[in-house]
Structures are given as C-alpha cells and as structure tokens.
Amino acid sequence: MDGFEIPIGTWVEFLVDWTRDNLKWLTRAISDVVGFLAEGLSDLLISPSPWVMIVVLALIAWLVRSWKFAVGTIVMFVIILGVGQWETSMQTLALVLIAALVTVAVAVPLGIWAARNDTVSQVLKPVLDFMQTMPSLVYLIPAMVFFGLGFVPGVVATVIFSLPPGVRLTELGIRGVDSETVEAGHAFGARPGQILSGIQLPLAMPTIMAGVNQVIMLALSMSVIAGMAGAPGLGKEVVSALQTINVAQGVEAGLGVVFIAVFLDRVTAALSNPRDNRGSLLGMLSSRREEARRASVASSAQTPETIAAT
C-alpha cells in the first residue's frame, strides 16, 4: 500500500544515537577494558619468538590430545610462519580467545538461569533466534558507531554473534541431567547450589563444552568479517585481498584461519572428553592414577584372614 511504512530502522538508529550520546561513559569503559585485554594478549602472543610459540602450542596439543596432534600443530603453524602470516594469525587468535572468554562468561550463567527458570527460557528463545539469524555484517554497524575502528568493535560484534549457541547448549546440558540423580541429591539434603555445582554442571559439562566449541568456531568466522571494522589480523588480510583481487594473499590468510580453527576445535573437543584421549599427557597421567588407585584397593583387600585362607 502506498504511504504505509513502519520505520523500524529509523527507531533503531535513534536508539543507537541516543546510546552513543548519553552512555559515553559505558562505551568508553568497555572500549578501555576490551582494548586492554585484546591488545595485551596480542602483544603477549607476538612478543616471543615464533618458534617458541610453536613449541608451546604443540605442548598444549600433546597435553590435551595426542603426540600426533602435536606434530600436526607444528606443521600447521610452521606453514603459517612460512607464508608470512604469523603476526596476523596471533592477532586473530587473541581476538578469538578474548571474545570467546567474554561470551562464555555471559552465556553459561544465562544458560543456567534459563534451565532453572522456564519464564527466562521462553523470553530468551526469541531473542537468541533473532541474534542467530541476523546477518553478521549488521553487528558491525552499531559496533563501529560505539567503538570506532580496531580490536574493540571486532570483539564486541563477535561476542554478540557467537553468544546464542553457548546459551542454548548450556541450558540443554543442564536440562538433560537425569531427574532421578537430581532428586537423589535433594533426598540427601543438598542445597540448590550444591546440586548445581556437584551434580548438574559435571554431568552437563560435555554438552557445555560443545557449546564452548561452537562459540569459538563462530567467533573465528566472525573475526574475519571484523576485518571490515579495522580489526587487525587475518580478517583484515582477507578484506585487503578481496579489495585488490590478490589471490595469493587471500589463500594464505585463509589457510591461517583454517589452521587456527582446526587447532582450537581439536583442543576444545579434547577438553570436553579428557578420558577419551589416552594418548594425551593428561590421559596418561589419569590412567596411571587410576592404576595406582586400583592397586592400592587391591592391596588393602589382602587382609590377614584372606592371606591365611589362600
């Protein structure tokens, strides 16, 4: 119909402008904290020799998964170093880690709250649906309005984009805990906080860690788009390659993204099921402790009566 219009965009623009003009103290505080964390971690990852960092990353891979993954980690990051994308890769890794930490710190409490309160769950579902289906590029616009260019708008947009799976899978994990186990905790007089920390969270941890894995993967995909907001790292390299039609630069930056994604995916997957990774240092230590415990139980069972009987 001619003349029919719902100016939602204008309303949102007014809200963004009002927030920018009246909550400068808040946006400045967020900018200072996020900028300090992201830039500090980036400098920390870049300052050592690349070979030292490669060894550290390989040790992490061996610690949580296997020596084979450690070798693969060395190969992947040596390739990153060889194509000249080391510094940008460390900047992207810093952005992803800071965004993932902030996202998990927000998503897990929200997911727990939603799992324990049906009203909160019903309110959050449409909000999370909206956040998850909104095109990721749209998040950069208000982020750039509030925080300008650089690390900060990239981290903020990444946090918003990667939040929904963390909340959903945390809620799913808590709700999926066997009700009889929870009832047994109540029967023994456990308080709600004790049931949450001692029963629900440990049993829901694999699902929660799957959510953390999804958060990291979405954060990494968003970090490339954040290059359009001036965030340093591989995303900026990809955007530059796109603008100049530089195939070589685009492929090399893309390889860096792929290798970081593989490393972070395997590490978080291993952390969610440490007992399944017998080849890792943690798995071997856990197995040895279990064998020592069984040997201790077996030796304590050899009482004088059982020895005399044999």
pLDDT in tens, 61-74: 888 888 888 899 99
pTM, 2 dp: 0.81
pLDDT at residue 122, rounded to an integer: 92
CATH number corresponding to 9-180+206-276: 1.10.3720.10
Q: Determine the pLDDT at residue 51.
A: 93
For position 74, what pLDDT does the model report?
A: 93
* Residues 238, 85: Cα–Cα separation, whole Å: 11
Predicted pLDDT at 24: 80
Q: What's the token pair of residue 222?
A: 């968003």
One-letter amino acid of 29: A
Express each pLDDT in 121-169 by its tens digit: 899 999 988 888 888 778 788 788 777 777 788 888 888 888 899 999 9
Reduce the DSSP state of residue 150 to 3 states and report it.
coil
Q: 48 Cβ partners below 8 Å, 6+ apart? A: 56
Q: How far is CA 13 from CA 34, 146, 154, 217, 292, in A?
A: 24, 12, 20, 30, 64
SS3 148: coil
Tell me, what's the pLDDT at 13? 80
CB atoms within 10 A of CB 35: 16
Q: How far apart are the first and last CA of the chain?
A: 96
Instruction: Specify whether the CB–CB gap between 169 and 211 falls below 8 A.
Output: yes
- How high does pLDDT run on average in the chain? 82
Q: What pLDDT, on a 0 to 100 scale, did the predictor assign at position 52?
A: 92
**pLDDT score recorded for residue 185:** 77
User: Considering Cα of 205, then 210, then 215, then 219, what sign does the dihedral take?
Assistant: positive
Per-residue pLDDT of the chain (310 residues; tens, 9 = 90+): 566 777 777 887 888 778 777 878 888 888 888 888 888 888 898 999 999 999 999 999 888 888 888 899 999 999 999 988 899 999 989 888 988 899 999 999 999 999 888 898 899 999 988 888 888 778 788 788 777 777 788 888 888 888 899 999 998 988 888 777 777 877 777 787 777 878 888 888 888 888 888 888 888 888 888 888 778 888 888 888 888 888 888 888 889 889 998 998 888 888 776 666 666 666 666 666 666 667 766 666 555 555 455 5
Q: How do the domains of the chain map onto residue ranges? A: 9-180+206-276, 278-310
Nearest to 264 by CA among 223, 205, 204: 223
Coil, strand or helix: which one is 133? helix
16, 142 contact by CB (below 8 A): yes
Distance CA 199, CA 121 (A): 21
The reported pLDDT for the residue numbered 277 is 61
Question: Look-up: residue for tokens 């409490």?
Answer: 109
What six digits make up the tokens of 248?
């070589």
In angstroms, the CA 199 to CA 191 distance is 11
